[in-house]
Amino acid sequence: MTETQDRAYGLYLNGSFRESDKLYCEILDKNPKDSRAWHMRGYIAVQLKELERAVEYISRAIELKPNVYSMHINLGSTLALLGHFDQAEAVQKKAIEINPRGTEAYFALGNCLRAKGQYYEAEAAYLEALQIKPDSVESLEMLARNAEDMRDHDKALDYALRAIEQNSDHKDCHTMAGNNYIRRRDYDLALTHYSAALKIDPKDATA
């Protein structure tokens, strides 16, 4: 990286997004084909909640360098934030083509499919992520939430408990476990998990 790129990235890491973006603009004035600078401008735009700009900038980066996994991940995630789930799904599938062992794309694909109400397809995507990274608490949590969406409360409980095995301080999974034990009328175990959730976050009204 050049000195200007170093400074721009440092400002980004420090949360000085506008100043960082200004330096990346200077970089692009000198070299409009710098895909990394376009990508970073897009990522900064996401932090600033300027999502349409983010899509424009990251798309430009992909035009210049079409096979970068992280660019597709970020573009797909931004499209999903905008509610463009069909487009986001297509981009995440492209990311999977680029890197079939990348958990992020499967996870993001699962989120898109879940948002569209395609719960069985979402489950398959989350399971792919979990197969690649078996200790992924995030995948187990989303599998639990997706199972709740499907009204499969036994499966939701199983995934929530597996997530807790990996991270005993996972408040939301304790709450989900408590809710599902209530459905089973197993009030003692429900109380155990609600108490654990409240110990982690005493202000949690859901527990």
pLDDT-derived band at 202, boundaries 50, 70, 90: confident
Q: Give residue 1's pLDDT.
A: 55
Reply yes or no on whether the pLDDT at 207 is more than 90: no
How many structural domains compose the chain? 2
- Domain membership of residue 105 (yes or no) is no
- Domain membership of residue 59 (yes or no) is yes
Q: Give residue 205's pLDDT.
A: 59
- Domain membership of residue 160 (yes or no) is yes
The Cα 50–Cα 167 span in angstroms is: 34
Burial of 124 (0-12, 13-18, 19+ CB in 10 A): middle
Q: Give residue 203's pLDDT.
A: 78
Supply the pTM of this predicted model. Answer: 0.88
- Domain membership of residue 39 (yes or no) is yes
- Domain membership of residue 155 (yes or no) is yes
H helix intervals, the chain: 3-13, 17-30, 35-47, 51-64, 69-81, 85-98, 103-115, 119-132, 137-149, 153-166, 171-183, 187-200
- The token duo for 57 is 């900038």
Q: pLDDT digit string (tens) for 185-197?
A: 999 999 999 999 9
- Domain membership of residue 97 (yes or no) is no
pLDDT-derived band at 3, boundaries 50, 70, 90: confident
Mark which of 66, 84, 119 sits at the end of a domain. Answer: 66
- Domain membership of residue 125 (yes or no) is no
Mean residue pLDDT of the chain comes to 95
Mark which of 66, 86, 118 sits at the end of a domain. Answer: 66
Report the SS3 class of residue 99. Answer: coil
Tell me which residue range forms the domain holding 17: 1-66
Reply yes or no on whether the pLDDT at 17 is more than 70: yes
What percentage of the chain carries pLDDT values higher than 90? 94
Mark which of 36, 66, 96 sits at the end of a domain. Answer: 66
Q: Give residue 176's pLDDT.
A: 97
CATH code of the domain covering residue 45:
1.25.40.10
Q: pLDDT digit string (tens) for 18-39?
A: 999 999 999 999 999 999 999 9
Average pLDDT over residues 169-178: 97
